[in-house]
Amino acid sequence: MPTANPDEGLKRVIGVPALTLSIISGVVGAGIFVLPAIVGAELGAFSVFAYIFCGILLASIMLCYAETGSRITTSGGSYAYVEAAFGDFPGYIVNWMYFFGWSIIGSAALMNIIADSLSVLFPVFSNPLVRGVFFLILSLFMIFINVYGAKQSVGVVKIITIIKLLPLLGIIIFGFSEVHTANLRWEHLPSFKSFADTTLVLFFAFAGFETSLGASGEIKNPKRAVPLSICIAGVVVLVIYMLLQMVTQGSLGAQMALYKNAPLAAVAGKVVGPIGGTVLLLCAALSCFGNVTLDILCTPRSLFAGANDGLFPKFLGKVHPKFATPYIAVITYGLLIFIFSISGGFQQLALMASAIILLIYLAVILSTIKLRMKKDEEGQKLFKAPGGWVTPLIGIAAIVWLLTSLGKWEILSTLLFIAAVSVIYFVTRPIRHKNKLVKIMK
């Protein structure tokens, strides 16, 4: 089982602090700026317990990623993990699912949220032509910094992460003065359906931590850094989310539904006045920008890894001779995000993405189980998720439960997508096999 590829040609420049902040940035996106109202409107004061419950479910998934990430240290993230455990075909499916079904559509949607947030302050961003030019400028800028170097790109993400976390921490610290304890009490338990639907929303608010692992080939000492960064980031995100929910719920109470589109801005307005709402809108735009920048850093590494394994076109596996980055993959991916961002009509595709990310998580957990059953050939001491077999089983049960909340259209479209990718795999298999033979002979 190959767990390292010294011929990748990438530089290991990402340490624990940078990786931890990247994971936090990948999770704390624009959703947290509206999430407290959505959850509070459905569950009321009981919403805090939904965070705890969802956090336990997500922890099992993150720990499986941490365990497998300490074993598989090549670029590719979820794809590399599944490929190492189950072979080319499952890895091929996961790579395409993650690339098209989750990353491109998700980042394109975030690009639109950036423009939507700015349009509240500057109506000119509602103009389709202006939005298109704006998307092009953003895409080219993010492509440039990611081609220039992983270290520089992570540096931008670190700065953005700190900037967007400061106002959130400000709301937590100063917002407690506006909290009324009566708003944190509940008179009855929510229905099971309401709790299940809300948990699904919460689950996807936490999704995105795995994006940073796509750059595993550029992480220093990944056997230590990956599990440590995942654990630290997971705890930080959960604490931030719970505190924000408590402050928002305690401050707005029954008025939560009135501020469904911008609950944190409403709390900020109570604390520091109208300027608070403006700051939060700008933070939402900046948060989306940071997430897309991180995505363009990490996801092209999956294309790069897939190209080196013969799963994607060979040119995507080229490394820049000066900057040591997979520049063709980065440029291709960035331009695809731009094309999707101006095309519109993402709603149905976004629903399909919800089903796809769940299936990817399930595949990684199953990979963790299979890899755990294999003996460590190198005799190295690797990270193992605490809880034994209970941890992955909790993750599997959680994902199966969440999948039952998906609609028929999402399930059908996902199955059709997998079927189409399977056809592509078997049709192009002879070409990939020939390329591998040529590579071996060289």
Cα separation, 433 vs 440, in Å, equals 11
What is the domain range of residue 300? 16-372+388-441
Asked if residue 207 is part of any domain, the answer here is yes
Residue pair 280/167 in contact by the 8 Å Cβ criterion: yes
pLDDT of residue 140: 93
- The pLDDT confidence band at residue 4, using thresholds 50, 70 and 90, is very low
Asked if residue 364 is part of any domain, the answer here is yes
Radius of gyration of the chain (CA): 21
Residue 394 in this model has a pLDDT that exceeds 60: yes
Question: Which range, 24-38, 50-64, 127-141, 292-306, is most confident?
Answer: 127-141
Residue the block writes with tokens 């009509």: 345
- Bin 29: left if φ > 0, else alpha if -120 < ψ < 50, else beta: beta
pLDDT digits (tens, 9 = 90+) for 248-285: 888 888 777 777 767 887 888 888 777 877 887 787 78
The residue-averaged pLDDT of 192-200 equals: 76
CB atoms under 10 Å from CB of 54, counted, come to 24
The residue-averaged pLDDT of 321-349 equals: 79
Residue 346 in this model has a pLDDT that exceeds 50: no
Residue 441 in this model has a pLDDT that exceeds 60: no
The residues that bridge with 14 in the sheet, in sequence order, are 219
Domain count, the chain: 1
pLDDT digits (tens, 9 = 90+) for 309-327: 666 777 888 888 887 788 8
pTM above 0.75, yes or no: no
Asked if residue 428 is part of any domain, the answer here is yes
Q: Which residues contact 195 (CB under 8 A, 6 or more apart)?
A: 43, 50
Cα separation, 322 vs 333, in Å, equals 20
Asked if residue 409 is part of any domain, the answer here is yes
Residue pair 329/300 in contact by the 8 Å Cβ criterion: yes
- The pLDDT confidence band at residue 2, using thresholds 50, 70 and 90, is very low
- The pLDDT confidence band at residue 6, using thresholds 50, 70 and 90, is very low
Query: What burial class does residue 108 get, using C-beta atoms within 10 Å of its C-beta: 0-12 exposed, 13-18 middle, 19+ buried?
Result: buried
Residue 362 in this model has a pLDDT that exceeds 90: yes
pLDDT of residue 364: 92
End-to-end alpha carbon distance in the chain: 22
Question: Which range, 48-62, 79-93, 257-271, 297-311, is most confident?
Answer: 79-93
Residue 11 in this model has a pLDDT that exceeds 80: no
pLDDT of residue 261: 64
The residues that bridge with 219 in the sheet, in sequence order, are 14
- Name which of 429, 22, 422, 416 is nearest 215 in CA terms: 22
pLDDT of residue 10: 59
Asked if residue 392 is part of any domain, the answer here is yes
pLDDT digits (tens, 9 = 90+) for 91-136: 888 888 887 777 887 788 888 878 877 887 788 888 889 999 999 9
CA within 13 Å, CB half, 353: 20
The residue-averaged pLDDT of 234-245 equals: 87
- The pLDDT confidence band at residue 425, using thresholds 50, 70 and 90, is confident
Q: Which residues contact 334 (CB under 8 A, 6 or more apart)?
A: 139, 140, 142, 143, 146, 296
CATH assignment of the domain containing 402: 1.20.1740.10
Asked if residue 381 is part of any domain, the answer here is no
pLDDT of residue 75: 63
Asked if residue 11 is part of any domain, the answer here is no
Percentage of the chain lying above the pLDDT 70 cut: 82
The residue-averaged pLDDT of 43-61 equals: 82
Question: Which range, 82-96, 141-155, 252-266, 375-389, is most confident?
Answer: 82-96
pLDDT digits (tens, 9 = 90+) for 219-234: 777 777 777 888 888 8
- The pLDDT confidence band at residue 434, using thresholds 50, 70 and 90, is low
Asked if residue 382 is part of any domain, the answer here is no
Cα separation, 405 vs 195, in Å, equals 11
